[in-house]
Amino acid sequence: MEGRREELEKLIKPEDLPKARFLVEEVLFIEARLAELRRLPFLKIDQANPMRQKATPAAKQYKELLQQYNNSLKLLFRISGDDAEAEGESPLRAWLKSRKEGAADDLDT
């Protein structure tokens, strides 16, 4: 756990570390909880009709925590300055834009 904490803290600029320390702790907590939930069954199968399945509370909690985890990581990357969205246009969007402009030029001729 300490190694993971250090790994996350290395991503953050030293001047931003005090602001992000709580977020790092939150990410570590969620990672530990997700690991616990992974050990539990996610589906409950009806004995009378095996085709009927139902998500267990563990599956629902895992889904919610995973969303929280992803949002926390996005925020952590934004704080670290490693946010692709903040840097401008992604390579995929630039390619799509060029394709769109090329198609518009073809229609004009």
Digits of tens for pLDDT over the chain (109 positions)?
Answer: 778 888 888 888 888 888 888 898 999 999 999 999 999 999 999 999 989 999 999 999 999 999 999 999 888 888 877 655 555 667 777 888 888 887 666 565 5
Per the CB < 8 A criterion, the answer to whether 27 and 19 are in contact is no
Domain boundaries, the chain: 2-108
Long-range contacts of the stretch 82-87 (C-beta < 8 A, 24+) = 82/11
Structure tokens at 47: 């004995």
pLDDT of residue 49: 93
pLDDT of residue 85: 54
Angle at 21 between CA 20 and CA 27, to 5 degrees: 90
**Cβ density class 35-45: b for 16+ within 10 Å, e for less:** eebeeeeeeee
